[in-house]
Amino acid sequence: MDRVAGIIVFRSPLAAECRERSLVLKAMNIEHAVRSHADEWALIVPEHRVPVAVRQLDHYARESRNWPAGRPTSLPHHPLSPTGVVIGLAVLLAVAAAEGKVLFGRDWFEAGRVDTALVRQGEWWRAVTALTLHVDVGHLLGNLLLGGIFGLVAGRLLGNGLAWFGIVVAGVAGNAVSAVVQPPPHSAVGASTAVFAALGLIAAYVWRRRVELPLRWAARWAPIVVAAVLLAWTGSGNGRTDVVAHLTGFLAGIALGVAYGAIVPALKLGPRSQWVLGVGAVAIVAAAWSIALAKAG
């Protein structure tokens, strides 16, 4: 099917719309292929099958418009891809290696940790760099595990680029707010603020989108309740745990998730836009570390 050459009979910025129509053609035994190019997806049919394919798609479109019960009962999903998680894990492992070797003659831990007094004095980049630092292997492995799980779920819902851009932004916002509300001297490191931002982002996005679906109130609110339980269960920890940062990260994720739920359906982001957002997430971290290391010199 992937080698089909022919005429484009349908195109859309949403992969889901092409896949729906692919099912229509598959049911009619019409050879076709779904391909992505730039910011859109296309349905391609051999030239000799174009007339019948167009008729079937037109018929499907008319039925969809005239069917009053056509409201979806579930959220659209993106293909499951580990790309975002792999890149995120690579960044955390690379920083851990650099921190252990005092790379470039810099003390990465001191240069990148959140220090509430310094953040309040304008060293905003610490809200970013602290997300990539950890106090020990156990701390790192715990965040790698939970971050990987939540990252996969967020990527499935939003696409890898938009998901990881949101996780980074909400994690940074969580650290920044934590630095404002916690008095000096206070120091913090760890990706857990971003991990709980991802949890809040997922919960709020699903809740916001489910408002549009024909579901009972319990089903709509279930994501928020489950996320709050997970926060209480995994986010309180021991005496070393920065509960405030976990909470502010979670709340930042909630806020961004509600916003995503309201605007994402209208954006119709294609593969190229997702890549741009993914690169943007990495660029935020890289820029913050560049500033931190320059200042540490």
pLDDT band of 284, cuts 50, 70, 90 = very high
pLDDT in tens, 7-29: 899 988 888 888 889 988 888 88
Mean pLDDT of 195-209: 92
pLDDT in tens, 118-175: 999 999 999 999 999 998 898 899 999 999 999 999 999 999 999 999 999 999 999 9
C-alpha to C-alpha distance for 30 and 24, rounded to whole angstroms: 9
pLDDT in tens, 267-279: 878 889 999 999 9
CA-closest candidate to residue 294, choices 121, 111, 91, 94: 111
For each of the domains in the chain, give its residue range(s) and CATH number, in order of start. 7-66 (3.30.70.1530), 83-296 (1.20.1540.10)
pLDDT of residue 13: 83
pLDDT of residue 35: 87
pLDDT of residue 101: 72
* Tokens 């699903």, located at residue: 206
pTM score: 0.74
Query: What's the token pair of residue 100?
Result: 């252990």
pLDDT in tens, 36-47: 877 788 889 999
Q: How far is CA 158 from CA 27, 206, 228, 267, 271, in A?
A: 29, 10, 21, 11, 12
* Tokens 């030239």, located at residue: 47
C-alpha to C-alpha distance for 275 and 273, rounded to whole angstroms: 5
Q: Report which residue type is found at 53.
A: A
